[in-house]
Amino acid sequence: MKKLFAVFPFALISFVMSCSTSPTEKPNPPAAQAIQLVEARDVHSFANPAQVRVKHVDLNLDVLFDRKVLKGSATLTIERRQADANELKLDTRDLKIFKAEISAKGDNFAATKFALGEADKILGAPLTVELPAQATKVRIEYETSPTASGVQWLQPAQTAGKQQPYVFTQSQAIHARSWIPLQDSPGVRVTYSATIRTPAGIRAVMSAEEEDGAPKLGEFQFNMPQAIPPYLIALAAGDIMFKPLGKRTGVYTEPAMMEKAAKELEDTEKMVEATEKLYGPYRWGRYDILVLPPSFPYGGMENPRLTFATPTILAGDKSLVSLIAHELAHSWSGNLVTNATWRDFWLNEGFTTYLERRIVEAVYGRDTEEMQAVLGRQTLEALLAKFDTRDQILHVNLDGRDPDDGSTEVPYEKGALLLRYLEETVGRDKFDQFLKSYFDAFAFQSITTPDFRAYLQKNLLDTNPQAAAKVSAELLDEWMEKPGLPASAPKPQSNAFGKVEAQAKSWLSGKAAAGLETKQWTTQEWLHFLNSLPAHLNEAQMKDLDQAFGMTKTGNAEIAHVWLLISIRSNYAPAFPRLEEYLTTIGRQKLIRPLYEELAKTPAGKQRAKAIFAKARAGYHPIAQASVGKIVL
């Protein structure tokens, strides 16, 4: 761990100017004020980008399903920041390194010395490569471990088609290093290219454009010409087909899932258009979505050009497609303007949650949006009530901690509320203009919380003195650097939820469930209904709800999640088989972890949790195996 705190000279400064690139309907905003970016130190990387910086990654990999291994090479194009730098430091985790070579011109490679340092539990192991003065490229031959933290290998039985195996990567936050040796820091942007070889019948896709010039059987070529942070490099391979949705949007998934997926996601093109209208052009060419098997450990992952999504969003009524709005929004907040270190994660997720709601409002209307905003604030309040103060802070200190620990919903919901507060204070027009100029000013750059704050001060507060009077430095400190929520934080309101609460009340005072007015309720209304009930219900109450609404057998994964939570608390045995089925098929951490936590609260529940985990474990992603293991073992 010592190495974490080694001090590097970080004096590199780049100058950021705004450039208005896009034709818009609105008049051009006043030129944005430039601010100086100070390169941040990333405590979650061993790399030395201040001396030598990786600029391009060229992958050449075989997908070996029988061994659960990716094997091949990564050729890194480097740039010297210090003329006398004589070593390149990379991040790795559980990689087997066979060889390191260097080249001056990119044609002839010669072996060079390398050393793999001692592995840190959180960070993995540094790989130091000796660099002669003339080296411009470094080629590493390597293979991954079958238990690589960023790669999940699925048996055919875990897929929809049950015939072919499947593999996918998940690089955020610091798992790219478990399948590629590179400088795994969000401040080190790279372009990348890849050649991926797969067995017959297996298609590979990546977060990049696919090169279609004379493809060889079982060989796929990709290119990502825009510089991205390494956590956005992604690969999946399996029995995957494609269907277009709009002129630059489409869906990839297994054949058995295609019809359902394409129907549910049919508004994707509209979402892209709505976001462009708000925040300027979509700069990544195509926007496609890969719908994965259910063991995908997240709801969605904003891999550029190709969002990865859980099949649990396919509710049948589009009520969960705000997740697509969210991942799409990252094409501006996150992929275009990126958190420079993981303590700035809220710049990615808070902005994106705010944008997500704006997109939902534009495409599905304010009522739908406000329901989601109310649920968001409820989630936030529940977390603030139970978290240590350190985890309530947006600009969170993650020294010595795993950045995955910082990915609670606090940065999402508290960050989104801060932006909503700013919007309400300066007015929507001005705030929209400000955000658009922010995305232009920092496009393809990685920035820190102080960078954002400096930009906000110069380009929104200094230019709007009336509003600025309300947004003092103390208040901004309270939002970004302190636990809890400022008293002036916005409180979203939903009329629809008022009606839902009335139904919950009349049920609790004795009205039969079958007589409640629940027609046309969307997922959000059902969630709010269930959340409005007392923590424990009696057997008769559980039965009444179950018989009237088919709760235990609902195919909606979000509603089932809340129902199963209540069932555990209320010890409602008829739901237990479903609970086991749910936990052994779904791998999305946000849906399974709270269920294990609830089970673990009683000795009998903990036994059940252990037994279910023993069956489910092999089907979980390595990250989920570890996080659930912490709860039940």
Residue 584's CB is within 10 A of a number of other CB atoms, namely: 18
The pairing of strands 151-154 and 166-169 is antiparallel
Please identify which residue in 172, 185, 368, 552 interacts with ligand BES, judged by CB under 6 A. Answer: 172
- Tell the smallest beta-carbon distance from residue 302 to ligand BES (Å): 5
Q: What is the dihedral angle through the alpha carbons of 184, 185, 186, 188, rounded to the nearest 10 degrees?
A: -90
Q: Which does 323 bind (CB under 5 to 8 A by kind): Zn ion, ligand BES, none?
A: ligand BES
Contacting Zn ion within 339-358 (CB under 5 A): 349, 352
Q: Is 438 a catalytic residue?
A: no
Residue by residue, DSSP assigns 69-86 as: EEEEEEEEEEEESSTT--
Please identify which residue in 243, 430, 543, 590 interacts with ligand BES, judged by CB under 6 A. Answer: 590
- Tell the smallest beta-carbon distance from residue 38 to ligand BES (Å): 25
Helix (H) / strand (E) containing 348: helix 345-364
How many angstroms separate the CA atoms of 153 and 453, rounded? 42
When CB distances to ligand BES are compared, the closest residue is 299
How many angstroms separate the CA atoms of 240 and 251, rounded? 10
Assess contact for 288 and 250: CB atoms under 8 A: yes
Taking 3-state DSSP, the helix, strand and coil percentages for the chain, each rounded to the nearest 5, stand at 40, 20, 40
- Tell the smallest beta-carbon distance from residue 589 to ligand BES (Å): 8
Q: Is 327 a catalytic residue?
A: yes
Q: What angle do CA 237, 157, 576 make, to 5 degrees?
A: 125
- Tell the smallest beta-carbon distance from residue 355 to ligand BES (Å): 11
Size of the site for Zn ion (CB under 5 A): 2
Please identify which residue in 177, 197, 305, 326 interacts with ligand BES, judged by CB under 6 A. Answer: 326
Q: Which is nearest to 627 in space by CA: 394, 617, 581?
A: 617
If the CB atoms of residues 546 and 558 are measured against ligand BES, the closer one turns out to be 558
Please identify which residue in 305, 318, 330, 343 interacts with ligand BES, judged by CB under 6 A. Answer: 330
Q: Which residue in the list 210, 327, 478, 525 is annotated as catalytic?
A: 327
If the CB atoms of residues 334 and 622 are measured against Zn ion, the closer one turns out to be 334
Q: Which does 590 bind (CB under 5 to 8 A by kind): Zn ion, ligand BES, none?
A: ligand BES
Q: Cα 390 from chain centroid?
A: 22
Q: Which does 301 bind (CB under 5 to 8 A by kind): ligand BES, Zn ion, none?
A: ligand BES
Q: Which residue in the list 412, 421, 572, 620 is annotated as catalytic?
A: 412
For ligand BES, what does the binding mask look like between residues 390 and 419, x meaning CB under 6 A?
--------------x--x----x-------
If the CB atoms of residues 188 and 301 are measured against Zn ion, the closer one turns out to be 301
Could you tell me the end-to-end alpha-carbon distance of the chain, in angstroms, rounded to an integer? 26
If the CB atoms of residues 103 and 348 are measured against ligand BES, the closer one turns out to be 348
The DSSP call for residue 182 is: B
Q: Which is nearest to 398 in space by CA: 8, 36, 41, 34?
A: 41
- Tell the smallest beta-carbon distance from residue 411 to Zn ion (Å): 9
How many angstroms separate the CA atoms of 515 and 503, rounded? 10
Strand partners, 62: 71, 197
Which residues are at the interface with Zn ion (CB under 5 A)?
349, 352
Q: What is the set of active-site residues?
A: 327, 412
Which residues are at the interface with ligand BES (CB under 6 A)?
172-173, 298-302, 323, 326-327, 330, 349, 404, 407, 412, 590
